[in-house]
Amino acid sequence: MSDIQKRCAACGSERVIPLATIRDKVNTALSVSSLSISAEPVVAINTNPHAGILTQRHVLSRIHAWVCGDCGYMPLFADDPQQLYAAYQAFLQATQDENRAL
Ligand SMILES: [Zn+2]
């Protein structure tokens, strides 16, 4: 997210929390910018569609939330979107190479 949104895309409110941390339920620190979501706070992209489960390579990125303080609209953002997109391109290239070989 290059420019922090100052207005909610869903309701137009300016009461927003722009960089909310997503925490596992184990971490129960309470503050206005903390959310408790039972999930790993990362997104993973597999770079090789042919790898076995033990040899897969994933590119990971931490994520954060943006929260509207009025309607609750809450999109998630990856902190390293360029690395994730590069991994996605590697995945697509490997898939295309396989299709050409068939
Ligand atoms: Zn809103």
DSSP H or E run through 56: none
Measured in Å, residue 6 CA sits from the centre of ligand 1 at 11
DSSP state of 52: -
Q: Is the pLDDT of residue 59 over 80?
A: yes
- Which residues make Cβ contacts (< 8 Å) with residue 9, sequence separation at least 6? 73, 75
Give the pTM.
0.64
Mean pLDDT, rounded, of the chain: 76
CA of 56 to the centre of ligand 1 (A): 39
- The CA 32 to ligand 1 mean position distance, Å, reads 16
Question: How many Å lie between the centroid of ligand 1 and the Cα of residue 88?
Answer: 31
Cα separation, 46 vs 66, whole angstroms: 25
